[in-house]
Homo-oligomer: A and B are copies of this chain.
Amino acid sequence: MGSLPLVKILLLCHLTFGSTFGDTSDNEVYACSLPEDLLTEIESYAPLVDKIINETIYGSFKGSTWQELSMFVDTFGPRFTGTQNLENAIDYMLNRSVNEGLQNVHGEYAVVPHWVRGAESATLLQPRVQKISMLGLGYSLGTVSQGITASAIVVKSFDELQQRQREIPGKIVVYNQEYVSYPKTVKYRSRGASEAAKYGAVAVLIRSITPFSIYSPHTGMMSYEPNVTKIPAACITVEDATLLNRIADRGEELVINIKMEAQNLPSVKSRNTIAEIIGEERPEKVVVVSGHLDSWDVGQGAMDDGGGAFIAWNALRMLNSLNLRPRRTLRTILWTGEELGIIGAQQYIKEHQAEKGNLQFVMESDMGTFTPIGLAFTGSREVGCILEKVMSLMGAINATRLTTPHEGPDIEGWVDMGVPGASLWNANSKYFWYHHSNGDTMAVEDPHALDLGTALFAAVSYIMGDLSIDLPHHA
């Protein structure tokens, strides 16, 4: 997932729903009072849910999400926005979808940015020569070819940056901020360059936004404030950020060289990948099940967001193979350009705004596909109560819990416009160990956890698509 959206989600969306019905893990009885016939209707899906779970966990689909995902990420590797490799990966998924008999398979164009990393390096020159492992940040400018060589100053916070502003001109600023949480700490990556440039810094090196490191740099998106000088920005490892901080604290002068060939090239066309099971009775009404197909240009993008995209896609593939067709249409969307600013999802909203009233429910997985706990939801109280009841059918995979709000950058636009939505809630405490680093590979993904995620997405999307009532949108 990209980072800015998450911050926004966490800051804003808590207001949307609060904990009115809340997290059922507390074992409280929430004051839901759905009509008896609706409760009975939802309960009647229990045999179908069992069938879906059995097929996914024990049947012919056992292990298939992992198999499909590993074939995909091993074949294409990372799928960075703007690359031909991403387009080839999209073609592959379109073909796979057609071959599997999914319907209305097509790509929908979106114009996406084309930032390229190029060769890059950072080297400590004083007090001793040592290579500094680094990853340039998305949208960063590059340096001149001989690089930027300058004294460096290490700060632990924006406050310290401000306090020491008179030391900044002409310097490289190294941020060694503590990791509090991703949403709270990612501002150093997003805004660190402009904040330092305001005081005359010539480049920034930012401690990677992660709670744990084995000398692993993590990349991600940054942005420049308007009317502030644009300076190159890269992330370094936790280990090197703390090393540089210790050396500076001893009063020794740090001199660093940074070379980056990063460039922002002209935008190119990419595509959101779409495939459906067309609804039996109300085909114009839609449940969206989604993840993003693009990834950062390091690692394999297996976790972010290969796993999410594949539980969504494989959920539809599995329902289709069982000839399970709900009343409404199930639409899997594999978004493009998420990592460089949710580009594909924004384009999709722009083009499909008129269909808002037809959107029954939107789902996404972009916070890892570790063992599922349940769903994270944003929407009205009534839909929350319905979803809570639906989740009570997921006992066989121990994923009955509901929390709020949802965490999904690509469905956020729809949810902000009132469409009820949910994201996979999973045991992702180590997600940021690997996020946006070379460690994001198939080694992180577990076949059984992926099966559970696929089963959950298949069962929930089917029921939401098949319910006798249209779900109300929230204000």
B443 pairs with A213, CB closer than 8 A: yes
Given contacts A239-B439, A243-B441, A443-B238, contact A214 B434 (CB under 8 A): yes
Which of A70-78, A185-193, A361-369 touches B? A70-78
Residues of B within 8 A of A75 (CB): 127-128
Q: A169 → chain B, closest Cβ, in Å?
A: 27
B242 pairs with A443, CB closer than 8 A: yes
A442 pairs with B238, CB closer than 8 A: no
A360 on the B face (CB < 8 A): no
Give this chain's copy count. 2
A133 on the B face (CB < 8 A): yes
Given contacts A75-B128, A130-B77, A247-B74, contact A215 B442 (CB under 8 A): no
Q: A297 → chain B, closest Cβ, in Å?
A: 12
Q: A303 → chain B, closest Cβ, in Å?
A: 12
In the complex, residue of chain B having the shortest beta-carbon distance to the beta carbon of A216: B214
CA A246 – CA B74 in complex, angstroms? 8
Given contacts A77-B128, A128-B77, contact A442 B214 (CB under 8 A): no
In the complex, residue of chain B having the shortest beta-carbon distance to the beta carbon of A214: B439
CA A449 – CA B127 in complex, angstroms? 29
A433 on the B face (CB < 8 A): yes
CA A250 – CA B434 in complex, angstroms? 26
In the complex, residue of chain B having the shortest beta-carbon distance to the beta carbon of A430: B214
A299 on the B face (CB < 8 A): yes
Query: Chain B CB within 10 Å — which of A127, A239, A246, A439 has the most?
Result: A239
In the complex, residue of chain B having the shortest beta-carbon distance to the beta carbon of A439: B214
A438 pairs with B133, CB closer than 8 A: yes
In the complex, residue of chain B having the shortest beta-carbon distance to the beta carbon of A441: B239
A437 on the B face (CB < 8 A): yes
A442 contacts which of B70, B76, B246, B439 (Cβ < 8 Å)? B246
Residues of B within 8 A of A300 (CB): 243
Interface string of A200-214 (1 = CB under 8 A from B): 000000000000011
Residues of B within 8 A of A299 (CB): 215
A215 pairs with B70, CB closer than 8 A: no
In the complex, residue of chain B having the shortest beta-carbon distance to the beta carbon of A298: B215
A437 pairs with B74, CB closer than 8 A: no
Residues of B within 8 A of A127 (CB): 75
- Tell me the A209-268 residues at the B interface (CB within 8 Å): 213-216, 238-239, 242-243, 246-247, 250
Q: A37 → chain B, closest Cβ, in Å?
A: 50
In the complex, residue of chain B having the shortest beta-carbon distance to the beta carbon of A302: B239
In the complex, residue of chain B having the shortest beta-carbon distance to the beta carbon of A133: B438
- Tell me the A423-437 residues at the B interface (CB within 8 Å): 433-434, 437
Q: A304 → chain B, closest Cβ, in Å?
A: 14
Interface string of A297-319 (1 = CB under 8 A from B): 00110000000000000000000
Q: A432 → chain B, closest Cβ, in Å?
A: 11
Interface string of A121-132 (1 = CB under 8 A from B): 000000110100
B215 pairs with A437, CB closer than 8 A: yes
Q: A337 → chain B, closest Cβ, in Å?
A: 22
Can you list 6 A-B pairs with a CB-CB distance of less than 8 A? A77-B130, A213-B214, A213-B439, A214-B214, A215-B216, A243-B442
Residue numbers of A with Cβ under 8 A of B are 70-71, 74-77, 127-128, 130, 133, 213-216, 238-239, 242-243, 246-247, 250, 299-300, 433-434, 437-439, 441-443
Q: What 14 additional pairs, Cβ within 8 angstroms, besides A75-B128, A215-B299, A215-B439?
A: A71-B250, A74-B247, A75-B127, A77-B130, A133-B438, A213-B214, A213-B439, A214-B216, A214-B434, A214-B439, A215-B216, A239-B438, A239-B442, A243-B441
